[in-house]
Amino acid sequence: MPRAGLTPQAVVREAARLADEVGYEKLTLAAVAGRLGVALPSLYKHVRGADALGQQLAALAVAELAAEMTSAAAGRAGRDALRAVADAWRGYAGRHPGRYPAAQQVPDPDDPAHVEAGRLALDAVYAILRGYGLTGDDAVDAARTFRSAVHGFVTLEASGGFGLPRGMDRSFDQLVAALDTAFRNWPDPVGAR
Amino acid sequence: MPRAGLTPQAVVREAARLADEVGYEKLTLAAVAGRLGVALPSLYKHVRGADALGQQLAALAVAELAAEMTSAAAGRAGRDALRAVADAWRGYAGRHPGRYPAAQQVPDPDDPAHVEAGRLALDAVYAILRGYGLTGDDAVDAARTFRSAVHGFVTLEASGGFGLPRGMDRSFDQLVAALDTAFRNWPDPVGAR
DNA sequence: CGAGCGAAGCTAATGACATTAGCTTTATGG
DNA sequence: CCATAAAGCTAATGTCATTAGCTTCGCTCG
């Protein structure tokens, strides 16, 4: 029997492909092994286990997403940038329905690439907000608002939580426009609750 | 050996309690059975299986959430209503970290109570938007925006996706204020994309 | 009061998956 | 060539979900 010639990379990439096909929740070491033409335990030569594979998949997905966000933001500002980044985000989630949920895990502090990718994605958001004059605590709040809105939309859309998929593009455009409105008129925080 | 005296209700309620303690992803028929002092297969006399239990848990959670949203909206309008419902939503998710993710499943069309509960929750949102003069397609888009933002925030907060939990209350207040701004200045949709 | 019956609960068996241990074999570098 | 590290395998264990089929409780009705 010739060697399959696997590497940790190859395993993670195959897992990513498989996740996009069958869904993240159905991603299984057994299925990945089958895809790679290898017995299940053989994977342990390349990944530490199912949890670790999930983490590495997250790192891959966050890096890809951050790259697309960053590239979407390049050469744009203000509302254009906002919309381009939001569209890139939604586009990534739509094209990678298995990777996207994986990307939601908190970055593994022991994986510098993962942490760095997360920072990059966040930077893309902060860069947009700077265009609206939002900095400091306002930027923190606004960034959380942006992430919440886009992530929430994308998640609900993917799960079918919105009901019939009528007018999804329009609704997303309106969500982005609403964010633009809110960022241009960012509310002064009221004192302690 | 005396009978345990279970009912489908009792099983679902125990599952809900357990999910809140250990997390939805760790919810297992085996654990529920253990909690109820019963052998695992005995549960099948009351629920059709793990998937069905999840669905019934979803129905329970959506009903509870809808009730809290509706009661929060009672006697309030405009920004007050917006904030009260948003707070109720976030509060429910915070108090029920296991039920809340369960509630995200699409309602089972064969469970009228589930469908009805979902409609109730949505109605609470539409009622708020009516206070902003948003109806028709605008209301659809605005409702999706509201749901996206609140659900996204609550999800990211629960998963630790925001990083250190500094200033979470303030950020949420600002998110709600941003929604208020957006709803008061709802953008006219631009033509087809 | 007792017989019978339906439902509740049990044990046993099967099958998917993850994980660990320990063996075999393939490449490859000296 | 051959020695060795790593790649891959089989076997064993444990958890969980599910189905089948048995036992027994507890209620209802004669």
A138 is a domain residue: yes
Mean pLDDT (chain A, rounded): 96
A33 is a domain residue: no
Of B90, B99, B62, which Cα lies nearest the Cα of B156? B90
Q: For residue range A48-85, what is the model confidence (pLDDT) as tens digits?
A: 999 999 999 999 999 999 999 999 999 999 999 999 99
A156 pLDDT exceeds 90? yes
| Structural domain that includes position A92 | 51-184
A111 is a domain residue: yes
Q: For residues B138 and B173, what is the distance between their CA atoms, to the nearest angstrom?
A: 23
Strands (DSSP E) found in A64-178: none
For A147-151, A152-156, A163-167, which range has the lowest pLDDT when averaged over its residues?
A163-167
pTM over 0.85: yes
Q: Is A80 on the interface with B (CB under 8 A)?
A: no
Q: Which nucleotide is nearest to A42 (CA to C1')?
A: D8
Helix, strand, coil share (%) of chain A residues, nearest 5 = 70, 0, 30
Q: For residues A18 and A26, what is the distance between their CA atoms, to the nearest angstrom?
A: 9
Instruction: State the average pLDDT over residues B37-65.
Output: 98
Confidence of residue B40 (pLDDT cuts 50, 70, 90): very high
> Are the C-beta atoms of B93 and B158 separated by less than 8 Å?
yes
Q: Is A155 on the interface with B (CB under 8 A)?
A: yes
- Taking the CA of residue A4 and the nearest CA in chain B, the distance in Å comes to 34
- Taking the CA of residue B4 and the nearest CA in chain A, the distance in Å comes to 34
CA angle A12, A155, B95 (to 5 degrees): 105
Q: For residues B130 and A22, what is the distance between their CA atoms, to the nearest angstrom?
A: 40
Residue A192's pLDDT is 46
Q: Give the CATH number of the domain where residue B172 resides.
A: 1.10.357.10
Q: For residue range A90-109, what is the model confidence (pLDDT) as tens digits?
A: 999 999 999 999 999 999 99
Nucleotides of C under 7 A from a protein CB: 7-13, 16-22, 25-27
Q: Is A106 on the interface with B (CB under 8 A)?
A: yes
Could you say which residues 45-74 of protein chain B have a Cβ atom less than 7 A away from any atom in strand C? 45-46
Could you say which residues 91-150 of protein chain A have a Cβ atom less than 7 A away from any atom in strand C? none
Q: Which nucleotide is nearest to B45 (CA to C1')?
A: C8
Count: domains in chain A: 1
Confidence of residue A3 (pLDDT cuts 50, 70, 90): confident
Q: Give every CB contact of residue B30 below 8 A, 6+ residues apart in sequence.
A: B40
Cβ-nearest to A162 among B144, B179, B183:
B144
| Residue A165 approaches strand C within 7 Å at CB | no
| Residue A30 approaches strand D within 7 Å at CB | no
B193 is a domain residue: no
Rounded to whole angstroms, the distance from the CA of residue A9 to the C1' of nucleotide C23 is 26
B59: part of which helix (H) or strand (E)? Answer: helix B50-73
Q: b/e per residue, B50-63, with b = 16+ CB within 10 A?
A: eebbbbbbbbbbbb
B56 pLDDT exceeds 90? yes
Residue B1's pLDDT is 58
Task: Note the Cα A23 to chain centre separation in Å.
Answer: 15
